[in-house]
Chain A
Amino acid sequence: MSTKIQIQLQVNGEARELLVRTDETLLETLRDQFQLTGTKRGCNQGVCGACTVLRDGEPVRACLSLAVNSTDTELTTIEGLATNGELQPIQQAFVAEGAPQCGFCMSGMVLAAKALLDTNPNPTIDEVREGLSGNLCRCTGYVKVVDAVMATAAGKYG
């Protein structure tokens, strides 16, 4: 069994200190230590993007990130987007445009979309497609996901 070291980080605005194994992935920390199960394990190999979280605003794959490398960072998981039950515009858009189907990829997809709009508030359809190219979805065919992002950029929600 590997040794543990202490890290500190902000998770959805809350300061946390904890011990993590040196080989512990951020995905394990989020799901098993914090019970933030909105972050999904789809492939555990960095391909599907279901475990995407925002670290200092940048999308990262939690399954490929070691928890120790997230010390002194700010993490946002899907649970951290809505405040007091009020959905963020990107979440409202996903709902109203009918983007979720089975929903398993959606946590990662919503966060990837948020990161995209945070850096490029008025993307073209091609830029949206490029920005979401790291997230696999098996149900939707992606069209309504793109529509949701474009509608958010157009100010239709929120």
Chain B
Amino acid sequence: MNAMDDIIGSALPRIDSNEKVTGSAVYVDDLYRPHMLHAARLGSPYAHARILSCDVTTARALPGVKSVITAADLPDRNIGVAVDDEPILARGIVRYVGEPVAAVAADTLAIAQAALRLIEIEYQELPAVLDPVAALASDSPLVHENFADYDKRFSAPSDGNMLSLMEVATGDLETGWRESDIIIEGEFTTPAIHPQYIEPCGALAEVDGNGKVTVWSSTQSVFISQADVSRSLDLPLSKVRCIATRIGGGFGGKQGANEAVAAALAIATNRPVKLIMSREEDMISMRSRHAAIIRMKTGAKRDGTLVCRETEVIFDAGAYCDLSPFVPMYTVMMAQGPYRIPHLSNTARTVYTNRLRATSIRGFGTIQATFAGESQLDEIAHKLGIDPIDIRIKNAIRDGDKWFGSIPVPVASTVPCLEAIRNHPRWQSRHQQDAVKPGKRRGFGVCATVQRGSVFSASAQVRMSEDGSVTLTTAYVDIGSGSDTALAQICAAELGISIDQVNLVTPDSDGGVYDFGTAADRGTSQVGHEVQKAALKVREQLLEYAGEMLECAPQDLELRPRGKVGIKGVPQPELGFGDIAARGLYAGGGPIIGTHSSRVKDSPLDPEVTRSVGMDNVAMGAHFEFAAHAIEIEIDEATGQVTPVEGWCAIDVGRVINALGADGQIVGGFVQGVGTALLEELVWDDGRLANPSLMDYKIPGILDVPYDIHRMVLENPEPDTPWGARGMGDLCINGPVPAIANAITDAANVRLHDLPMTAERVLRLLIEK
């Protein structure tokens, strides 16, 4: 295959590039259907209240209004990926400010919005649960009084407002503390942040003459969206079709996009209905990253050897579950960082509160614990007088080590990643660079991170047409990561055809395959694996049919570049893929179609080695991923403002599938990480979001981040993925956060424990010092 897989690793432009620079890419708000109506939703003004009455008669009477619906018009059904805890329109109780209570479909958006103001709702305010720690108290008001009645689909214990408890313990903490010469203890906090995809969430729904609902959506998972519509409207899955349009960014925040509300209105009016969030609505009512309180204690020997770590995390899940229980699973898995630590105890609780729901945003439960862990490692290095890179190399897990629970780690790249940074010429010369201006301080920070990727189920189908081109169907949604291009490359490489010969099917629940959705770095490695296996079946059929045509055994045949089959060692005759496929259709054994589907392998924790609570029956990921980051920052002594100056990213991707795509993920993740570190926070005024706009919630603009971001891509292949490729989207965001915290300490000898590391927070510490 050597001559045929040169497409792997190439810098091919993404297959959707042209449409994205000409304005022809179709996102959900760009769709218009005949006789289409526009929808708007009314949000709750209270964080927690009982709905006493709801009068929609005036709103319904407004000219141009075609339907006004509330929970009273819907089946008594809930949605939710892990627990069925959420009605699509509040039923009896509202649980966060902005929770949709009613929805309107009208001739124009302006009329729909005007109708919202005519809806009269009487509320009885209830005590709001706004502090996740207080929410755990036995006398706290409950966010969900009847949690026990919900259909719960994960094994972690729940109790009161505690949605999930997950624990692992390995070794013996007491022994660990006894053996430690130095112990560092601290509490860290990270705020809720919004993923801030530039395209707000939206959906368009319509119903056909047989009652089948079709929704086009800005969703990361057509099957989660399909299930939301099916469950909430009491329709069989066979009556619901979900199609993903082009997606304007997701980052974990688009696991469903109000499809069910649009569908309910489409059913009520028998007309297509489009429901698009404004930026403000999206920030108030879609999804955030979990705010977290991380208590961590780490022990080490005098020579820097890590001995012991205890981690306790409390996650604010907000009012509804969404994917919440999968997030602490990663926290508990990854809290030790990429290090050998013999004695560990990791605990994570997710807690219901009366705030916006939280879910698996990019970095997936790892980013919060990594901020704490990599900060404490630097504290230890500083106290012991050890170089921050040396202490990481000293403790790094190595190829073939076991993770806790005896989970094998075939490839562990922390050391090569750190060495790549250390050997980079700009890092070597970092102290001979431009003179620092008066009133400024410069500092450098490093960190090493680990993430785990691939979850649940995936599948792929490859069908060869009679001209030798193939149609590839996966239902995996390219939310901007470049997965469409990478999957097409994997398919093309396996068959030795060009990428132009691969027709990629839009993710569609009617497409004949299943996919869990875009999350957890599962595209290239996990879905790519299915694509490779499906393409392999096409190869087998090609060789079998060609054997019949050439009258020889399939094992004597070979695939040749540009879609040909020939006899090994004999230049001619050759058959084109098209001829073989056409013969299959009309004279041979039928159409050439390869399909493959599987669920990611479980990696159960060995109970003899590691005790655990709530960790079974959850997807644990399949591949460990490793990275190291470094950054130079400048602090303004007068204001406390931190400015990133230069960055270094070393990422082991296993094998590059697309060089442009991999590079784009690395830089994009770095810059998003800078935003998490320095800028971003959802600010609450009691239960109300105080900054629901891009004006008041700042994400990094081009002047907030450096141009000099050095990328070092390592390729130590994974044993069981396509060409050894691993995922990287989540991995790339985690490092910049602790690297910046460590750089601030290097520059000014102050230690930040709270994100974001704003000028105000830095200045306060500078003044205290």
Contact = CB atoms under 8 A, between A and B. Distances in A.
B279 interface: yes
Chain B CB count within 10 A is highest, among A37, A50, A104, for: A104
B173 to A, nearest CB: 40
A79 B13 contact: no
Contacts of A78: 21-23
B182 interface: no
Contact of B664 (A95, A96, A144): A144
A100 B20 contact: yes
Contacts of B482: 101
Interface of B: 11, 13-14, 16-27, 29-30, 32, 110, 195-200, 246-251, 278-279, 479-482, 660-661, 663-664, 667-672, 693-695, 699, 701-703, 705, 707, 709
A129 B18 contact: no
Contacts, number: 169
Given A129-B702, A142-B671, A142-B702, A103 B279 contact: no
A38 B23 contact: yes
A35 B26 CA distance: 12
11 contacts: A43-B694, A45-B693, A48-B198, A78-B22, A98-B14, A98-B661, A102-B479, A132-B702, A136-B699, A139-B249, A141-B668
A103 B703 contact: no
Nearest to A137: B198
Given A104-B480, A139-B480, 6 more contacts: A1-B110, A79-B24, A87-B18, A103-B480, A142-B671, A144-B664
Interface in A129-158: 129-130, 132-133, 135-146
B701 A43 contact: no
A110 B25 CA distance: 14
A107 B18 CA distance: 11
A105 interface: yes
B650 to A, nearest CB: 16
Interface of A: 1, 35-45, 47-48, 50, 77-79, 81-82, 87, 91, 94-107, 110, 125, 129-130, 132-133, 135-146
Pairs of residues from A and B, 3 with the lowest C-beta to C-beta distance, nearest first: A38-B23, A102-B480, A104-B248
Contact of B197 (A39, A102, A132, A143): A102
B21 A87 contact: yes
Contacts of A133: 701-703
A38 B24 contact: yes
A135 B198 CA distance: 11
A98 B636 CA distance: 34
B694 A45 contact: yes
A146 B102 CA distance: 45
A96 B21 CA distance: 11
Contacts of B248: 40, 42, 102-105
Contacts of B26: 37
Contacts of A50: 198
A42 B23 contact: no
A45 B692 CA distance: 12
Nearest to B696: A47
A37 B667 contact: no
Chain B CB count within 10 A is highest, among A42, A78, A145, for: A42
Contacts of A99: 21
B13 A96 contact: yes
Nearest to A146: B707
B694 A136 contact: yes
Chain B CB count within 10 A is highest, among A91, A96, A103, for: A103
Nearest to B196: A138
A104 B249 contact: yes
Contacts of B29: 37, 41
A98 B21 contact: no
A37 B22 CA distance: 11
A50 B694 CA distance: 12
Contact of A102 (B198, B663, B707): B198
A132 B693 CA distance: 20
B556 to A, nearest CB: 42
Given A38-B24, A102-B198, A102-B249, A47 B661 contact: no
B17 A102 contact: no
A35 B36 CA distance: 14
A98 B13 contact: yes
Given A106-B21, A141-B705, A47 B694 contact: yes
A132 B700 CA distance: 13
A130 B249 CA distance: 24
A140 B664 contact: yes
A130 B702 CA distance: 8
A101 B23 contact: no
A92 B227 CA distance: 40
Chain A CB count within 10 A is highest, among B14, B200, B248, B671, for: B248
B695 A39 contact: no
Given A133-B702, A141-B709, A37 B23 contact: yes
B692 to A, nearest CB: 11
B230 to A, nearest CB: 27
A139 B23 CA distance: 17
A45 to B, nearest CB: 6
A39 B14 contact: no
Contact of B198 (A35, A105, A146): A105
A87 B29 CA distance: 25
A98 B11 contact: yes
B547 to A, nearest CB: 41
B198 A104 contact: yes
A95 to B, nearest CB: 4
Contact of B21 (A100, A139, A142): A100
B22 A81 contact: yes
Contacts of A136: 198, 694, 699, 701
A98 B702 contact: no
A107 to B, nearest CB: 5
Nearest to A106: B20
A107 B660 CA distance: 20
B204 to A, nearest CB: 13
B651 to A, nearest CB: 13
Contact of A40 (B21, B27, B699): B27
Nearest to B13: A95
Contacts of A87: 18, 21-22
A38 B670 CA distance: 28
Contacts of B22: 38, 78-79, 81-82, 87, 91
A141 B703 contact: no
Contact of A98 (B24, B25, B663): B663
A136 to B, nearest CB: 6
Nearest to A126: B707
Given A136-B701, A141-B670, A143-B709, A77 B279 contact: no
B667 A143 contact: yes
A23 B30 CA distance: 22
B707 A139 contact: no
A145 B705 CA distance: 13
Nearest to A88: B21
Contacts of B110: 1
A110 B670 CA distance: 22
B702 A79 contact: no
A133 B698 CA distance: 13
A85 to B, nearest CB: 9
Contact of B23 (A43, A48, A94, A107): A107
B15 to A, nearest CB: 11
Contacts of A38: 22-24
Contacts of B481: 101
Contacts of A37: 23, 26, 29-30
Chain B CB count within 10 A is highest, among A98, A101, A105, A146, for: A101
A99 B196 CA distance: 19
A42 B24 contact: no
A40 B199 contact: yes
Contacts of A47: 693-695
Contacts of B701: 133, 136
Contacts of B251: 138
B705 A142 contact: yes
Contact of B668 (A82, A101, A107): A101
